[in-house]
Amino acid sequence: MPVLVDGEAVVYESAIINEYLEEKYPAVPLMPEDPFKRSRARIWIDYCNTRVQRAGGNIAHDYQVEKSKEELSQYLETLDREMRDREYIAGDYSLADITYIPFFCRLERYQAKIGNDLPHVRAWMDRLLSRPVVRGTP
C-alpha cells in the first residue's frame, strides 16, 4: 500500500499522493492548466487505477485470473485506440502518463504482453520508459 509520510502529513492512495506532490511542488507542473484537459487527465488516471491496475492486481494475486486477463486485454485495446494519434495520453506529459509507468514496469507480474498488436501503447510505453527519470528509478 503506497503511503507518503511528509513531516506530520501522512498521505495514502497513489493518485492522491501524486496530486499532493503536484500541489506541493508547483515549479514542475504535471497537470494541464485548462479545467477540461485536467478532467481528461483525471479520467485516464482513474482508468488506470480502477481498471488496468485492478485487473493486473487480480492476476498478480491469483484472483479471477482468466476473467481479469480478458478484461485487461480489452483495456489495453481501448488504450491502443486512444493513443493512435497521441504522444501522451492527456496532452503534454502529465500525471496521467506517470500513473501507467508502474504497470508498464511490471508487465511480467501481470502476465501481460505489449506486442505488435498494440503498436500505439507500445510506442507510448517505450516513450515513457525511456525518460531519464524513469530509467534512473530502481
What residues make contact with ligand GSH under the rule CB under 6 A? 1-2, 13-14, 49, 53, 57, 60-61, 109
Residues 28 and 8: their CA atoms lie apart, in Å, by 24
- In the bound complex, which residue of the shown chain has the CB atom lying closest to ligand GSH? 57
CB of 49 to ligand GSH, least distance (A): 5
Nearest Cα neighbor of 96 from 111, 79, 113, 84 is 79
The DSSP-derived string for 20-53 is HHHHH-TTS--S-SSHHHHHHHHHHHHHIIIIIH
Nearer to ligand GSH, 43 or 87 (CB): 43
DSSP summary character for residue 84: G
Nearer to ligand GSH, 2 or 29 (CB): 2
CB of 94 to ligand GSH, least distance (A): 17
CB of 14 to ligand GSH, least distance (A): 3
